[in-house]
Amino acid sequence: MREIYRIKKVNIPVSKLEVGEVLPFNLLDSRERVLLKRGQVVTPEFMERIKEEGYSSFLAEIWEEDEELVAREDVSLETKKKTLENMQEILEDLSQGKSTSVVPLRHNVSQMAEEVKAHKELVIPLIQLKKHDDLTFTHSLNVAVISLFIAKFLGLKDEELANLGLGALLHDLGKLVIPPEILNKPSKLSEEEYEIIQKHPLFAKNILDEKTQLPEKVKEIPLQHHERIDGSGYLFHLTKKNISILSRIVAVADVYEALTSNRPYRKSLPIPEVIEYLMGNAGYKLDDKVVGAFIRHLSPYQVGDLIKLSTGEEAVVSRINPILPFRPIIRIKKRDEQGNAYLSLEIDLSYSLTLTIISEIDMKSRINL
Ligand SMILES: [Fe+2]
């Protein structure tokens, strides 16, 4: 449970105001006249004026809206849970060689697509997606959610979203028939082992052909998700024109999800490095339009996230800047003289460039694809 702090009525000394801060409340003088309104930025001219007029402190008129700081979900936990349950059932059936129905999973996917379409934020709150864990099921679920977001940004139709969501959920299905000792091997794979791993797209297609009634467009996704547009992928070295747009979307979501998660053979990478990787491969291995749609909407933070700053202080993300999502607007956790916790004024990190967010992710880990 995340702690939500509320500011009561506080006296603010002039020294606490900083140029570039966006005020989360009305700023009043001692006679309760409004000097700056909530949402306004503290400008150098304002600071000059208050200096000239000899102010030493202000009153802050708080609007108690801190509940807004509660994080919003990308797709509800309930939908995620149901999807995971149905996926587990389907994968169990298939691993026992039984035929299976994907009807329940179809319902889950349309529910997920609806929630993705209705999401108000301009940005994808991806840290939250990643927080769950690194299980294969969760990986597939995350890949499906990310893929649906990308498809939404690309303006794909509902029917395509439905096929995309299903294909993304099942993209690594072929790993079911790969022995876990190969799949989870922490050391380098032998050539034969690598060849087996590389066949998982084909294993998936064969299983789905035999045991389900899915449309080709869905089955193409597991088959093609490791193909790269320059022909350097596997299994058939297809080039862009022969890889479906849905598979190209899942390829980007899969790479992003894989690199930002811990694996037996490497630790997760910091998000900025993953973005560099995606951008470096856009137009070469990965579809540049897909990468572009994804990166333009990517935010590592979401409202309500607790972060640590370079000063050692803790802060809460209060708003996302859609132009610079890596520099959110934050409020620092403080204590007043009585020891009561409160949140500072909003600080816009796109102005306060000396203040940085410390990532807890190990910066030394390296890409190993
Ligand atoms: Fe895969």
The residue ranges of every structural domain in the chain are: 10-64+301-358, 77-299
**What CA–CA distance (Å, rounded) separates 307 from 298?**
17
- From first to last of its 369 residues, what are the pLDDT tens digits of the chain? 334 444 456 677 787 787 777 776 778 888 878 888 766 778 888 988 888 888 888 887 765 544 444 445 678 778 888 898 898 888 888 888 888 888 999 999 999 999 888 876 656 655 555 444 445 677 888 899 999 999 999 999 999 999 999 999 999 999 888 888 888 788 888 999 999 999 999 999 999 999 888 999 999 999 999 999 999 999 999 999 999 999 999 999 999 988 887 776 677 787 778 888 999 999 999 999 999 999 888 777 766 677 888 888 888 888 888 777 778 888 888 877 777 777 888 888 888 778 888 754 322 222 222
> How many angstroms separate the alpha carbon of residue 292 from the centre of ligand 1?
22
Q: What is the pLDDT of residue 73?
A: 64
**What CA–CA distance (Å, rounded) separates 96 from 273?**
40
Q: Do residues 329 and 348 make contact, with C-beta atoms less than 8 angstroms apart? A: yes
Q: What is the pLDDT of residue 124?
A: 64
CA-nearest of 254, 279, 270 to 365 is 270
The pair of three-digit structure tokens given for residue 70, joined into one six-digit string: 């509660």
Q: Do residues 166 and 105 make contact, with C-beta atoms less than 8 angstroms apart? A: yes
> How many angstroms separate the alpha carbon of residue 72 from the centre of ligand 1?
29
CATH of segment(s) 77-299: 1.10.3210.10
Sign, CA torsion 296/299/303/309: negative
> How many angstroms separate the alpha carbon of residue 15 from the centre of ligand 1?
55
Q: Euclidean distance between the first and final Cα of the chain, in Å?
A: 36
> How many angstroms separate the alpha carbon of residue 319 from the centre of ligand 1?
35
The pair of three-digit structure tokens given for residue 40, joined into one six-digit string: 């306004």
The pair of three-digit structure tokens given for residue 335, joined into one six-digit string: 């204590």
> How many angstroms separate the alpha carbon of residue 173 from the centre of ligand 1?
8
How many residues comprise the chain?
A: 369
> How many angstroms separate the alpha carbon of residue 98 from the centre of ligand 1?
22
> How many angstroms separate the alpha carbon of residue 172 from the centre of ligand 1?
5
> How many angstroms separate the alpha carbon of residue 353 from the centre of ligand 1?
39
Beta bridge mates, 358: 308
> How many angstroms separate the alpha carbon of residue 171 from the centre of ligand 1?
6
67-70, long-range: CB within 8 Å, 24+ apart, which pairs?
67/4, 68/303, 68/318, 69/4, 69/303, 69/304, 69/316, 69/318, 70/2, 70/4, 70/303, 70/304
Beta bridge mates, 333: 343
CA-nearest of 143, 115, 108 to 129 is 143
What backbone phi and psi angles, to 5 degrees, belong to 90?
A: -65, -45
Cβ neighbours around 57 below 10 Å, total:
14
**What CA–CA distance (Å, rounded) separates 250 from 266?**
22
Q: What is the pLDDT of residue 292?
A: 93
Kind and range of the H or E element at 293?
Answer: helix 288-296
> How many angstroms separate the alpha carbon of residue 147 from the centre of ligand 1?
14
CA-nearest of 359, 338, 337, 355 to 346 is 355
> How many angstroms separate the alpha carbon of residue 226 from the centre of ligand 1?
6
CA-nearest of 360, 299, 305 to 331 is 305
> How many angstroms separate the alpha carbon of residue 140 from the centre of ligand 1?
9
CA-nearest of 229, 179, 173 to 201 is 173
Q: What is the pLDDT of residue 368?
A: 24
> How many angstroms separate the alpha carbon of residue 175 from the centre of ligand 1?
8
The DSSP code for 19 is T
Q: What is the pLDDT of residue 1?
A: 34
> How many angstroms separate the alpha carbon of residue 99 from the centre of ligand 1?
22
| CA distances for 365 relative to 133, 151, 267, 308, angstroms | 18, 30, 6, 20
Angle at 108 between CA 107 and CA 113, to 5 degrees: 100
> How many angstroms separate the alpha carbon of residue 26 from the centre of ligand 1?
53
Q: Do residues 145 and 59 make contact, with C-beta atoms less than 8 angstroms apart? A: no
**What CA–CA distance (Å, rounded) separates 232 from 27?**
59
> How many angstroms separate the alpha carbon of residue 180 from the centre of ligand 1?
14
Tokens 């799949």, residue located = 183
Q: What is the pLDDT of residue 62?
A: 61
Q: What is the pLDDT of residue 179?
A: 87
> How many angstroms separate the alpha carbon of residue 194 from the centre of ligand 1?
12
Kind and range of the H or E element at 218?
Answer: helix 216-224
